[in-house]
Amino acid sequence: LENCLYKKMFHRLLLSRKVLLSEISKIPWNVCKHHFHQSQMLAGRVMQIRLSDIGEGIAEVQMKQWHVKIGDQIQEFENVCDVQSDKASVTITSRFSGTVRRLYCEVEEIVPVGSPLLDIETEDEPENMPFDKAADQSEEIQKRAKSDDSFTGSKEKKIVIATPSVRRLAMENKINLSEIKGTGPGGRIVKEDLLNVISAEADANVDASDDEKKSFSTTSALIQDQVIPIRGYRRAMVKTMTSANSIPHFTYCDEVNADALIQLRHSFMSMDELKDVKITYLSIEIKALSLALLRFPMLNAYLNDTVTELICKASHNISFAVDTPDGLVVPFISDCQKKSIIQIAKQISDLQAKALNNKLTNAELVGGTFTISNIGSIGGTYASPIIFPPQVAICALGRFQVC
């Protein structure tokens, strides 16, 4: 059946180029079939969708779910699959309308950026270019996909190929096109590439994988060794902690009198207008920390990769750790220096709820300038916390003790 499909498309191509069908027998069929498989545009009718760059320096993803199967009719911008990176789950959409002819990977398979995902046979020719030119561009795309590592380390200025509509959409969303890897012919950045980046930065939900949930289900005892995949939150945490090993740490511990803190929280809780707001010690401590950072701005800073510059940040984007069944996650509250304790308390509740339901976005996870960790909630008194690069400081709060 597959051979019939390729022969049919090849016959159409030869007719469109005024080639006699009798000449087909002179062409080695295995060569023709190989050419159809390798080209980005198959006879001008079957289009290949590749995994575009979804941003955040992600080099590979895991295929989580296909929304289509071979033979399905699909419309432009319809969802085709879900993929999971270390930070977020992203839904890939189709650039074309037509029939699904091939799926290149299985569920749970690791897919590098630039790899083919599926082939779609279109009703109309989507690109007005000669077949030979499309094939030549396809070969160039494949060469570039195979040498991704060399491009990653290049310092030369990248030439961006994109239509005016794509450039306008990028400008509206404040996205640098030179940081996106195009999956269109000749490395062109198509709308799908840009939509995937926008989705990853703003709308992507961090989903825990099913196998992780099964792996950590409560059991009485193990009767054999168990292999637990490190993915999602845990995989991101491994990378962060590995990077943190390169930072020289200095730990200082002290005790403070918390009587005033307890009284302040009780005064908030006694207000009728705040009965629906959960005022926690953490919300008060975050505001107090922000006031302290106004006096010591060098603690609210980033250190650049070459350790030659300290960038003091104007915004107090204070991250706080949330322990979830799927691992530790660290969202942040932006501009704490401008917010009240009540506003901070409300945002803490919202972010904690999102974290427990795996609904945090990259925009809520990436951008913290200082981190606070409440180890007292798990009974800890003292700790030696690890700094989240490129931040320069972290604060751990222990449990209260009655003296």
Which residues of the chain does CATH 4.10.320.10 include?
A: 164-200
Tell me which of 161 and 119 has the higher pLDDT: 119
Q: What gap in Å lies between CA 253 and CA 290, rounded to an integer? A: 19
C-alpha distances in angstroms, 166 versus 91, 159, 175, 382? 19, 15, 11, 52
Task: Classify residue 236 as exposed, middle or buried by CB count within 10 Å of its CB (0-12, 13-18, 19+).
Answer: buried
Tell me which of 180 and 372 has the higher pLDDT: 372
Confidence band for 300, pLDDT divided at 50, 70 and 90: very high
> What SS3 class is residue 268?
helix
Q: Which residue has the tokens 């080695």?
A: 28
Rounded to 5 degrees, φ, ψ at 126 are -80, -20
pLDDT given for residue 307 in this prediction: 83
pLDDT given for residue 38 in this prediction: 38
Q: Looking at this protein, which amino acid is placed at residue 20?
A: L
The tokens describing 162, both together, are 């994109």
Q: What gap in Å lies between CA 356 and CA 361, rounded to an integer? A: 13
Is-contact 356 264, C-beta < 8 A?
A: no
Tell me which of 364 and 129 has the higher pLDDT: 364
Does the pLDDT value for residue 297 go beyond 90? yes
Mean pLDDT across 238-262: 82
Does the pLDDT value for residue 312 go beyond 90? yes
Tell me which of 53 and 290 has the higher pLDDT: 290
Does the pLDDT value for residue 94 go beyond 50? yes
Task: Classify residue 255 as exposed, middle or buried by CB count within 10 Å of its CB (0-12, 13-18, 19+).
Answer: exposed
Q: Which residue has the tokens 């980005």?
A: 40
Mean pLDDT across 308-318: 93
Confidence band for 10, pLDDT divided at 50, 70 and 90: low
Which residues of the chain does CATH 3.30.559.10 include?
A: 232-397
Q: What gap in Å lies between CA 168 and CA 189, rounded to an integer? A: 13
As a whole number, the mean pLDDT across the chain is: 75
Strands 60-66 and 79-84: antiparallel
Q: How do residues 105-126 score in pLDDT, each as one tens digit?
A: 998 888 888 899 999 998 765 4
Q: 15-24, 40-49, 90-99, 387-396: lowest mean pLDDT where?
A: 15-24
Give the chain's end-to-end CA distance (angstroms, integer): 81
CATH of domain 45-122: 2.40.50.100
The structure's pTM equals 0.50
- Does residue 331 have a cis peptide bond before it, meaning omega lies within 30 degrees of 0? no
Topology (CATH) of 164-200: Dihydrolipoamide Transferase (4.10.320)
pLDDT given for residue 14 in this prediction: 53
Q: Which of 20-34, 132-146, 216-230, 271-285 has the highest mean pLDDT?
A: 271-285
Does the pLDDT value for residue 205 go beyond 60? no
Q: What gap in Å lies between CA 30 and CA 317, rounded to an integer? A: 59
Q: How do residues 316-348 score in pLDDT, each as one tens digit?
A: 999 998 888 777 888 999 999 999 999 999 999
Domain 232-397, what architecture?
2-Layer Sandwich (3.30)
pLDDT given for residue 200 in this prediction: 66
Give the residue from 397, 44, 361, 141 showing the smallest Cα distance to 255: 397
Tell me which of 336 and 303 has the higher pLDDT: 336
Which residues of the chain does CATH 2.40.50.100 include?
A: 45-122
